[in-house]
A and B are shown apart, each in its own frame.
Chain A
Amino acid sequence: MDKAQMAEIYDRLHDAVYRTAFAYLRNRQDAEDITHDVFLQRFAREEPFPDGEQEKAWMLRVTINRCKDLLRSFRRKNSVPLEEAAQIPARTSDERAVWDAVNALPARYRILVHLHYAEGYTLREIAKMTHQTETAVQTQLYRARKRLRAILGEEFTL
């Protein structure tokens, strides 16, 4: 794979990989580290993908696995560092509130919310990506929404 091909893949997928890693880890530096590793893993893979969507799904699956490994390896605390919170690009108070509420969810819910609402994946696709059953994903999303409603109150709609 030459440099131009690598750059093309990076330009096409870097945001999705980075945002997914950030949704899981809530830390810029860690998310960039994961992005770095995931792309190196992608470039090392010689087997081609049938289409771009499958390639993206594969990369997000690798991202999630690497995030899990990272979290598992040194038991990160479930909190957003202050400097990170200040840099979050929310423009309105609503955006800020929803962002904070999603980030207050446990990691397993947060990643599902991100994949479904930000990346637009269906429950079935998420189930495949996260190695769970569709029912399990559905239930966790149900609980996540319930939790978000509890945090944000009646003003929050889906």
Chain B
Amino acid sequence: MNMNDYKHVTQRMHPSDACKHEILRAAAQNEQPRETRRQIFWKNLPVAAAGMAACLSLIVGGAFIWQNRADFAPRTQSQVPDVSAVTEEVGASLTTTATTLAQVAEVQTETAAQVQTTAEVQAVSQAAETAPAVSAETEIVTTKATTEAPVKAESRGTTAATIMTTAASEIKTTEVKTETNPLLQEVIIEDDTIPHRTLEEIGFIIVNMDCEEYHACEKKLMLDMFGEDGFNDSLENYAADKRMQFWREFAKRYGKNDELTESITIFLQTAFLIQKGDLSPEEGVSLIQNFNEGKTIPEEIIEKMNNNADLRLRRECSEGKDEDSQFTDMWETFTGIEWQMQYLMGEFYGYSDINNPFPGWWIVVYQY
């Protein structure tokens, strides 16, 4: 029994003849590749939304008419109200409005006159700045004019500073997306004691080693902890409490806790929340962007990150399923997380190596 058995079965598998005809027919008619269900969904969303909005309007409108049906029914002569009183009221109101309008017109005229006066004063002050001889009267005006000027300049300066800040923040945003992440630069680790608490809680440990080193460490630790006699090549064959014990020790010995692991953790946890549906992808991106900019992550999000992720895994891996199903469930969950991770990495760094998003670092996912 070996992999050739798989190969042999595979070699006997062919698409149906109809498939070839269909493809060549579609190609001859210059058809485009079929859209994915997701593309179809998004494409049809506006139409569906408009349709739903129209239906909703009809329902609401219908309900309104039904509720107020008495008002919409044809009226008898006796039901028609006497409008003469209303007409009188409207007439009085119109008279008041006309009076008010006349008053407003007067105020406007006065204001116009004042504006003209101000313009004249400004003209005098400008003339005073350039005039060779300065009288006592105009000197006062000139002083006023010169003290006003720096204020304006300062105000312009402030505006310019604001614009520069805005421009800088725009540049910063672009940099985040296009340049190499500063966190990816090598980090000197001085503190490699017990890793961050949440790393254990959500079921992964971040270590700084390659594949071979990892497997060697895994084996060495199993031997150290369980001894030669109790040693089993596959950790999956150990009881759950021993596995948990193993991973706690593994995290203690090899796990890292520093700025970079914190960043990786945020990515993973955000990916997890997106996968669970607690955050939309856009919200996830925004969360990481805020984190990168040093902004505080909302308490409720931190709570979700710290609690829910672990609980979901445990729940999925426990409810009356056999070990195979538990394993598959867990990997399906993590595959989903990886996809979300790939999306996030692509958004921020323009690349998406899901298995090795932070070069030189290894994310160990463990199960209970």
Contacts and interface: CB of A to CB of B under 8 A. Distances in A.
B26 interface: yes
Given A15-B14, A78-B332, A133-B356, A36 B7 contact: no
Contacts of B9: 88-90, 95-96, 98-99
Nearest to A117: B3
Interface in B1-24: 1-3, 5-16, 19-20, 22-24
B36 interface: yes
Contacts of A7: 20, 24
B34 interface: yes
A38 to B, nearest CB: 8
Contacts of A14: 14-15, 19-20
A107 B335 contact: yes
B352 A131 contact: yes
B23 A10 contact: yes
B147 interface: no
Given A10-B24, A117-B7, A138-B211, A89 B356 contact: no
Interface in A1-24: 3, 6-7, 10, 14-15, 18-19, 22-23
Interface string B214-238: 1100000000000000000110110
Nearest to A150: B234
A6 B6 CA distance: 30
B114 to A, nearest CB: 69
Contacts of A124: none
A109 to B, nearest CB: 8
A73 interface: yes
Interface in A110-142: 113-114, 117-118, 131-133, 135-136, 138-140, 142
Contacts of B20: 7, 10, 14
A94 B235 CA distance: 27
A89 B6 contact: no
A6 B24 contact: yes
Contacts of A107: 335
B356 A94 contact: no
Nearest to B38: A73
B27 A40 contact: yes
B32 A133 contact: no
A59 interface: no
Contacts of B12: 89
B13 A140 contact: no
Contacts of B3: 98, 113, 117, 158
Interface in A59-100: 66, 68-70, 72-75, 78, 88-92, 94-99
Nearest to A70: B36
A47 interface: no
Contacts of A88: 9, 13
A32 B15 contact: yes
Given A41-B33, A69-B38, A92 B5 contact: yes
Contacts of B14: 14-15, 18
Interface string B261-294: 0000000000000000000000000000000000
Interface in B291-338: 324, 328, 331-332, 335-336, 338
B353 interface: yes
A139 B2 CA distance: 20
A118 B233 CA distance: 27
Given A32-B19, A69-B38, A133-B355, A118 B27 contact: no
Nearest to A22: B13
B244 interface: no
Given A92-B5, A114-B10, A36 B328 contact: no
Contacts of B331: 106, 108
B184 to A, nearest CB: 15
A25 interface: no
Interface of B: 1-3, 5-16, 19-20, 22-24, 26-28, 31-34, 36-38, 210-211, 214-215, 233-234, 236-237, 324, 328, 331-332, 335-336, 338-339, 352-356
Given A118-B7, A158-B2, 19 more contacts: A22-B13, A40-B27, A40-B31, A40-B34, A73-B36, A88-B13, A89-B9, A92-B5, A95-B6, A95-B9, A117-B3, A118-B6, A118-B11, A131-B352, A132-B354, A135-B211, A136-B355, A150-B236, A156-B1
29 contacts: A3-B27, A10-B24, A36-B33, A37-B34, A38-B33, A43-B27, A44-B32, A44-B33, A68-B339, A70-B37, A88-B13, A94-B5, A95-B6, A97-B5, A98-B5, A98-B9, A99-B5, A99-B9, A106-B328, A117-B3, A118-B11, A132-B354, A135-B210, A136-B353, A140-B355, A142-B211, A146-B233, A156-B1, A157-B2
Give 4 closest A-B pairs by Cβ, nearest first. Answer: A136-B355, A89-B12, A98-B5, A106-B331
